[in-house]
Amino acid sequence: MELTPNQVRLMMLQVADAIIEAEPMLSQADRDLGDGDHGLGMKRGMEEVKAKLEPLDAASVEQVFVTTGSAMMSSMGGASGALFGTVYRAGGKAVTGRESLDAEGLSLFLQAALEGVMKRGGAKPGDKTMIDALAPAADKAKEVASQPLPEALTAIVAAAEAGVEASKAMIAQFGRAKTLGEACLGFPDAGALSVTIMLKTMLAFVKAD
């Protein structure tokens, strides 16, 4: 199974709706770690993504992802805008020239997204950031790159969810949560939750298609 550029556009519109709907949960997760603006920022970013993708006549998979990343960067501001914008812009460039999205393309996307975010933000796995969902997802994607897309995404989502769960036991090394020390134990990182919601929505789209 492979997704055409227009199917990838429709999938990303679903991802945008899922993040907008999850705003209260994401805001609470961020408040638990001392901040609180992550959910509203993500909602604002995804509203802009919808405005840009709805009229788009998608010519390529790359165009859909890069448009998504650019919309998030320009509308969100702050660290989340830069990092989630990088996910889609770097990931999109990694699938340049591909006429459709399959599990191999998704693996390239996630690998480039991970490398881009680590380079831009300076965090690494174990620092209690979005990377704690993105890194296991990218690793698993590489492992399952030859599988059909629904099966591959099922494994990728499970890896990301395990990463979110593991992030509860980590002490934050970045952002305001860093000042909490051990008080941040027991709570997942809001950025890691956002990554997981995106991947779960992609899986739901692929299974329904």
CATH classification at residue 167? 1.25.40.340
Query: How high is the pLDDT of residue 33?
Result: 84
Query: How high is the pLDDT of residue 180?
Result: 72
For 182, residues 6+ apart whose C-beta sits below 8 A from its C-beta are 171
For 62, residues 6+ apart whose C-beta sits below 8 A from its C-beta are 92, 93, 95, 96, 97, 98
Per the structure, how many domains does the chain have?
A: 1
Q: Containing domain of residue 97, as a range? A: 5-208
Given a cut of 70, the residues of the chain with pLDDT beneath it are 176-177
Query: How high is the pLDDT of residue 176?
Result: 67
For the stretch 124-144, pLDDT in tens is: 999 899 999 999 999 999 999
